[in-house]
Amino acid sequence: MKTFPKWIWLFLASLAPFQPLWAGASAVGAEQDYYPADLGGKWVFNITEGKNTKTASVVCDKTGTINGKPCLHLKSSDSRLSYWVQKKEDGVYIVQTCRSVLGLADLEITFDPPIPLLKFPMKKGDKWEYNGWGRTFIASKRLHITYENKGLVNSPLKQFSGPAFEVVCTHQVEKDAPVTQTSWYGKGLGFVASRSPGESISLEKFEPVSEASLSLAKEHNKDASQTASNDQTDSD
């Protein structure tokens, strides 16, 4: 079951630790600086698969409730995709995705239970996993996902060159071959890049709405002169 492009669910993690946009949301700590999201904010990415490169964007456009869970809605320009994600004190979860099928109908995929994309507080060496289901009205598929937080390193991008958290994720649908991806999350920017066999994703532009997010994004490159090890010490 190809529920959505590989790159997009990695990006979901970068949008998760929102400022309190809905009831029950609360501050989680300094790690929020590495996963900012503004209602109305926009992230633009270059996605390279083999010799082909395309541009896709994600907009944080509204809030709502899915299956009793307060969520934020993320709309992608890629394949008419949209997503509902939930932030809790212990982490961030993807609750549901929706995509247009042949332009005729929307296919909703609900994750049972919701997928834990991030674990709070963020710490080097943390590991977690998911065993659950992706369910549609047609069929259900078993999902297995493992994560490991490798800590702060230098971002692989020249345009966003400050320290970034590195997270390695391996996901498997049913008995398909597992796919491993490494992704990086920058201060004030969220998801900035990922690398996996045959595919690379890089943040091209971030258009924040709030002054706070804009200020953090500007600070990211200032922090590039500091070592990742110093930042790691501060985050422990």
CA distances from 81 to 99, 104, 111, 168, 222 (A): 5, 14, 16, 24, 34
Determine, yes or no, domain membership for 152: yes
pLDDT at position 11 is 46
Rounded CA-CA distance 25/105 in Å is 33
Outline where DSSP puts E strands in 140-212: 140-154, 163-173, 179-186, 190-196, 199-207
Mean of the pLDDT values across residues 187-207?
A: 86
On whether residue 92 sits in a domain, the answer given is yes
Mean pLDDT of the region 78-91: 78
Please give the Cα distance from 17 to 13 (Å, whole number).
Answer: 8
Give 18-58 pLDDT, tens digit per residue.
333 332 333 334 555 666 656 778 889 898 988 899 998 88
Percent of the chain at pLDDT above 90?
Answer: 22
Question: What is the tally of structural domains in the chain?
Answer: 1
Number of H helices, E strands in the chain: 3, 12
Higher pLDDT, 37 or 171: 171
Q: Indicate which CATH number applies to the domain containing 40.
A: 2.40.360
Say yes or no to pLDDT of 17 above 60. no
How does residue 96 score in pLDDT terms, banded at 50, 70 and 90?
Answer: very high
pLDDT of residue 60: 82
- Is residue 1 in a domain? no
Q: The domain containing residue 31 runs over which residues?
A: 6-235
